[in-house]
Chain A
Amino acid sequence: MKLSLTPEQTAAVEGARAFARARLHPRVTEFEERGVPKELVRELGDAGLLGALVGDEWGGRPLDPVTWGLVTEEIGKVCCNTRYILTVHASIVAGTLARWGSAAQKSEWLPRLARGEALAAFALSEPDVGSDAASVRTCYEKTDDGFILRGAKRWTSLGALADVFLVIARDANGENGRAVTAFLVPRQLAGVRVEPIRGMMAARGSHIAELHFDNVKLSRADAVGRPGAGFTYVTSTALDLGRYSVAWSAVAVAQAAIEAMVSYALRREQFGRPLQDFQLVKAMVGDAVTDTHAARALCLHAGELRRAADPEAIMATNVAKQFAARVATRTTAAALQLHGANGLSSDYDVERLFREARVLEIIEGSTQIQQLLLGDYGLQTYARATGYP
């Protein structure tokens, strides 16, 4: 697909590429070992990479969905840990707040998030709640002037570093399924406790944490949207934004794997010939290219629908996320295989890319959850075409 980008769109993508090359590439290993540093968040903000979903009136630098996707690919190709900041902070939290936040919440938080003065994380998953996100156990009780929040969240990307959390909780006394609310919870509030999670296979530098909320007092103004609409609309918006970002992240990882394959195939010799001369190697590269181009096309399609505010954008995003995440798994596995034993070594990028790809089939709706959703969608969408009932 030949993209026709405006000069402004091209500048945004090229700016992200230059930033990744200059500021991220030399530090990928450092970030893996120590985590992305807080000052990088400010640097991303200064580079205009955090305000893509924030309006001008709130100090953002808005980008259309297609350009934002291409920017995410540029950053994700080089450093997955930094890309989590784009996905979680800039897409999920800033985007959801821009859509459903109150005027006061927007004016308090969006400029700071866009500039990188504050880092945000999304707290949905729990020790006992993953795919069944509507069944969160973290709960709140209404008080005369606000809410009391209790519970724990797990696998919160950026959690150990974040200044504010978008927390999804249920009404302790409410009707199941209709009583979930999203809250903005500043980290410094009494009762908020953060425990970094170590020993992760991937996303090692993204400050994954477990969060504890021990009777945290919140005001009415801390609720995002009306109490009770937190899952149906706020969480759905957050997940939709997250899926779009993850879909592009998967394209990024797959593209990086292709480039690693090609680089290795051109230079590595066996049986007196470079790997590129072997037909099975060509087949591996060919499949990877086909898969990755198809994944990118699905992402671009979803992006165009999002730009048009088309209701079909939501399912197109699911399609893109599910396919692209599987492509990332297949392509990084092929890249590792092509490298042989070298592929198992952290001296080569494919070892890291293989690990990072696995995350993408789990977060923001696992591949299996996506299959169920898309199966229902297919049955609904094409039932009429079959003449049913």
Chain B
Amino acid sequence: MATISSVRKFIQGNVLAQKQNVTLSDDDDIFRLGFVNSMMALKLVTFIEKEFNIKVADDELDISTFSTISQIRQFLQRKLGNPIES
């Protein structure tokens, strides 16, 4: 079963691999911290759709939706209608 840890791992693997001494908390805004460019943002959405077998709708397309791991978790819980495990 897909969990939020897979999202965390994906973000860390894609934006933090070359950075020393950087940790990411679930409430860190990956956009404001400069870790994510627009291509990475699209890649993240594609990953989430595939991992959780969902389709992000046009009216869900808000930059804040995917800005933190906590926000992503809340979005997925709303979308899937059940709690997302850590």
Contacts and interface: CB of A to CB of B under 8 A. Distances in A.
Interface stretch (A50-58, A231-239, A249-257, A266-274): A231-239
Nearest to A100: B58
B33 interface: no
B31 interface: yes
Contacts of A232: 31, 38, 41-42, 63
26 contacts: A100-B58, A101-B58, A102-B58, A102-B59, A178-B31, A224-B58, A226-B59, A226-B62, A228-B62, A228-B63, A233-B38, A233-B42, A233-B45, A233-B63, A235-B38, A240-B39, A309-B50, A310-B50, A311-B46, A313-B46, A314-B39, A318-B39, A379-B18, A380-B13, A383-B18, A389-B21
Interface of A: 100-102, 134, 178, 224-226, 228-229, 231-237, 240, 309-315, 318, 373, 379-381, 383-384, 388-389
A311 B48 CA distance: 9
Given A232-B41, A233-B45, A384 B61 contact: no
Interface of B: 10, 13-15, 17-18, 20-21, 31, 38-39, 41-47, 49-50, 58-59, 61-63
Contact of B50 (A237, A311, A318): A311
A380 B49 contact: no
A96 B59 CA distance: 14
Q: Is the interface of A mostly helix, strand, loop or mixed?
A: helix
Contacts of B49: 309
A257 to B, nearest CB: 30
B18 A311 contact: no
Given A225-B61, A380-B14, 5 more contacts: A100-B61, A229-B62, A233-B38, A310-B46, A388-B17
Contacts of B41: 232-233, 236
A385 to B, nearest CB: 9
A78 B15 CA distance: 41
A229 B17 contact: no
A380 B15 contact: yes
Contacts of A388: 17-18
A225 B58 contact: yes
A145 to B, nearest CB: 18
Contacts of B14: 380
A312 B46 CA distance: 9
A46 B14 CA distance: 43
Contacts of A101: 58
Nearest to B45: A233
A229 B59 contact: no
A234 B45 CA distance: 12
A231 B21 CA distance: 30
Contacts of A314: 39, 42-43, 46
Contacts of A102: 58-59
A373 B18 contact: no
A314 B50 CA distance: 14
A389 B20 contact: yes
B66 to A, nearest CB: 9
Contacts of B63: 178, 228-229, 232-233
Contacts of B42: 232-233, 236-237, 240, 314
Q: Report which residue of A225, A232, A379 has the largest number of chain B beta carbons within 10 angstroms of its beta carbon.
A: A232
Which one of B13, B38, B45, B62 has the highest number of Cβ atoms from chain A below 10 Å of its Cβ?
B38
A286 B45 CA distance: 41
A178 B64 CA distance: 10
